[in-house]
Structure 1
Amino acid sequence: MNIRINLSSEPFRRDRPWVVATTLIGIILSVSLAALSYLAIMHRDEDKEARAEAEKAQRQLNLLIQEQNRLESTLRRPENGEVIERSVFLNQLLRRKAISWTRIFSDLEKVTPYNVRLIQVRPQVNQRNEVYLEMVVGAQSSEPVIEMLMRLESSNEFGAVHLANSLPPSQSEPLFRYRINVNYAQKL
């Protein structure tokens, strides 16, 4: 048997590596498509659950808002005005009683130099339930007070310091006196 092959007119082509490579790429892409389709279906189901939970939470929130509006309308009635005023007054008293004097003095002891006298301390509570201290301190010179101010600012228990005013020594009061306002980190 005689096979006629003319190599000069039809050269031998080396397509096998190209065919194998494209087949492998096709298989990999098909597997990737299947995996991504599966993940998309899974996420769609999870999204349904998340939407259902969000709708449930929104319904609960709407119920709570309705309840709050109902209670606020009851509180706004003229006959309840006296009760509200008394409630606000009692809440303010409770906030003031929540301030621990022992803790205030313990924290001040950590930052006050030995040669600074604490003449007056007045804790206050602002509208955001934050405590700040109005203090009057005295010293023979201003250096110990400056040191105290720096310690207050660098302390974790105290915040921003504001020097309201200072008074020089007088015949009745031999100390330099400084009025200081400082934020205090005591939780109520």
Structure 2
Amino acid sequence: MKISVNLATRPFVELRPLYARLRLAMVLLVALAVGLGFALHVLDAKSSVAEAQMNALKAKTTQFEHERQTNEARMRQPANMAVLERSRFLNQLFAEKSFSWTAVMMDLERVLPAGVQVTSIDPVITKEGDVNIRLRVSGERDRAVQLVRNLETSQRFLSPRLSGETALTPSAGQGGPMAAPGGVVFEIMSGYNPLPEKTASATNVARKSGGVR
């Protein structure tokens, strides 16, 4: 009979599978570190390019600002002030000439309720080329309110708002019209979207064709 004697003080543990797993994990970590390092390098290169573009834009902006200040200083000289004022006057004149009264009246006819009269139209053209219109209308209050609602739904009149309301008073004997009961005078401020060039051209052609007929 054989008797096996184990003289080890601790049980035997197979470590080779554990070492294999550790080696695999180390390889994966190294691959991940290499990938992250490459991605960081790419991002750093992109950041350098973006920073260079930003510096170039800042340099151009500084150059243009310097040129603008130089030109403004030159135009403020006494010899050039007359030219500047004349340029402003001509630009304002051209802007006023480009305003189409016919188009405004046609647009108002579409939104004007019966019984409401337009007593004055005062267009104001801003430096940016936007057109604002101050309307003064008179008539019964409910119909004047309906006019404001119609303006709000129109594509030509932008952000209309009441700037004043006055009750009509009899003016007989002073050359003015008799005021109807409940009549008011409204002052309305509104932006105006002019007709596009194509639409205006088509309108002019249609009118000329109608005149020939």
Shared fold per TM-score greater than 0.5: yes
What code does the residue aligned with 2:107 have?
D
Q: Does 1:150 align with 2:153?
A: no
Cα shift at 1:65: 2.0
What code does the residue aligned with 1:69 have?
Q
Alignment length (residue pairs) = 186
Q: For 1:103 and 1:149, how far apart are their aligned partners in 2?
A: 19
What TM-score do you get using the length of structure 2 for normalisation? 0.70
Q: For 2:95 and 2:18, how far apart are their aligned partners in 1?
A: 81
Q: Identity across aligned pairs (percent)?
A: 22
3-state DSSP of counterpart to 2:49: helix
Are residues 13 and 155 of structure 1, via their aligned partners in 2, closer, same or farther at CA, if it must alter by over 3 Å? farther
Identify unmatched segments of 5+ residues in structure 2.
196-213
What code does the residue aligned with 2:90 have?
L
For 1:55-74, what aligned pairs fall within 5 Å after superposition? 55-74=55-74
What TM-score do you get using the length of structure 1 for normalisation? 0.78
Are residues 151 and 4 of structure 1, via their aligned partners in 2, closer, same or farther at CA, if it must alter by over 3 Å? farther
Are residues 123 and 33 of structure 1, via their aligned partners in 2, closer, same or farther at CA, if it must alter by over 3 Å? same
2:116: which partner in 1?
A: 116
Q: For 1:103 and 1:177, how far apart are their aligned partners in 2?
A: 26
Match of 1:173 among 174, 177, 180: 177
1:125: which partner in 2?
A: 125
Structure 1 residues 25-80: Cα deviation after superposition (integer angstroms, max 9, x where no partner): 43433222111111111122222222222222222222222222221121011121
3-state DSSP of counterpart to 1:113: coil
Structure 1 residues 123-158: Cα deviation after superposition (integer angstroms, max 9, x where no partner): 11245543221212222x211111112232344432
Alignment RMSD = 3.2
What code does the residue aligned with 2:91 have?
N
2:206: which partner in 1?
A: none
Are residues 151 and 3 of structure 1, via their aligned partners in 2, closer, same or farther at CA, if it must alter by over 3 Å? farther
Identify unmatched segments of 5+ residues in structure 1.
none
Higher mean displacement: 43-52 or 162-171: 162-171
3-state DSSP of counterpart to 1:137: strand
Contact 1:158 1:182 in 2 (8 A): no
For 1:1-188, what aligned pairs fall within 5 Å after superposition? 5=6, 10-11=10-11, 22-127=22-127, 129-139=129-139, 141-156=140-155, 157-170=157-170, 171=172, 172-174=176-178, 175=180, 176-186=183-193
What code does the residue aligned with 1:75 have?
M
